[in-house]
Amino acid sequence: MNTNIILRLLCYLGVFTLPAFHSIAQVSVFQTSCSGLQAKLEAFTTSNSNDELSSYTLEVLKDEGLWVSSAKNHTFLAVSEFENLQKGIYRVKVVVADADNRNLLISDPIAINGCPFAPGNATNEIAVSLRPNPASTKLEIEILSGLISSDLPATLDIIDGLGHTVESMKLISANTTISVAHLPAGIYFISIKNNSNLSAFEKLVIKK
């Protein structure tokens, strides 16, 4: 009995094709955050066994340095994640294990800009509540501590997963409601800083 294997992929930054010994096989690499990459494998084979694509490993290389493997090797799994990458230029290498040991493909360079803050490591000097989170249309922002007023306003930045500021505004009240209906679904970060250099950094999820 023939074995059919189809793994789907999402293409964003680039797609490169595996060697011809696979019927159809390609890898898509895209940036998932300001410090993360994701690589997805799509493969299709009608061979009588799984030996044709027995396993593969996705690895990443920074600035011509050492290859760093993803969390584990995979067998017919479509996704590998690389998180908390430092700023630099990366390439993704696909190592495919098959019966003939034909096994190497390297992507084009991909730039990682790095996060402006390190979520989880940052210390919030202004306590902030975001409701609801995940949000879809409106977001209520409440400043729980840290002085915010018309005399001491704060700047609020919405930062996308690639580290780009997509919106910036002034806060002059401890309670503010903003529209997020125009933001595409994804992971964002809310950065708040007042004129006394007190700051907060919170993760925001937008769902549609």
Instruction: Summarize pLDDT for 78-99 with one digit per residue, the tens.
Output: 455 667 676 666 666 665 554 4
Q: What is the pLDDT of residue 93?
A: 65
**How far is it, in rounded angstroms, from Cα 199 to Cα 167?**
17
What sign results for the dihedral spanned by CA atoms 182, 185, 186, 190?
Answer: positive
5-112: CATH topology: Immunoglobulin-like (2.60.40)
Q: What is the pLDDT of residue 150?
A: 72
**How far is it, in rounded angstroms, from Cα 24 to Cα 52?**
12
Query: What is the pTM assigned to this prediction?
Result: 0.47
Q: What is the pLDDT of residue 156?
A: 92
Could you tell me which of 191, 103, 96, 192 has the C-alpha nearest to residue 152?
192
Q: What parts of the chain have a pLDDT lower than 50? A: 1-24, 44-54, 71-78, 98-99, 101-103, 117-123
Q: What is the pLDDT of residue 190?
A: 87
The token pair at 199 is 């700051």
Q: What is the pLDDT of residue 2?
A: 28
Residues of the chain with CATH 2.60.40.10: 5-112
**How far is it, in rounded angstroms, from Cα 179 to Cα 108?**
38
What sign results for the dihedral spanned by CA atoms 188, 58, 12, 34?
Answer: positive
Q: What is the pLDDT of residue 94?
A: 60
128-206: CATH topology: Immunoglobulin-like (2.60.40)
Residues of the chain with CATH 2.60.40.3080: 128-206
